[in-house]
């Protein structure tokens, strides 16, 4: 997918280096307040794998979002 860029946000494909920060966010108490339990790293990684498979199969999915001036935005 080509990167989608606006003045406030960049949307891009997931990268391996996104897994650890995604897990920190997805297992945090505010995100999982109404979940039965925080996501384990294995479950978090499996979620990203499902997101990537959905993109490959359907051509759209949940993309990684980053601020435009972030090192995470660049390749």
DSSP string, the chain: -PPEE-SS-EEE---GGGHHHHHHHHTSTTTSTTSSSPPPHHHHHHHHHHHHHHHHHHS--PPEEE-TTSTTT--
Query: Could you tell me the pTM of the whole model?
Result: 0.77
| pLDDT tens, residue by residue, 5-34 | 999 999 999 999 999 999 999 999 999 999
- Model confidence at 64: pLDDT above 80: yes
CB 64 within 8 A of CB 18: yes
């Amino acid at each position: 997918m080509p990167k989608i860029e606006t003045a406030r946000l960049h949307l891009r494909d997931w990268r391996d280096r996104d897994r650890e920060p995604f897990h920190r966010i997805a297992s945090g108490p505010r995100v999982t307040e109404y979940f039965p339990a925080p996501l384990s790293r294995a479950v978090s990684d499996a979620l990203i794998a499902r997101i990537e498979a959905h993109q490959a199969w359907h051509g759209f999915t949940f993309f990684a979002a980053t601020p435009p001036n972030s090192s995470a935005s660049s390749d």
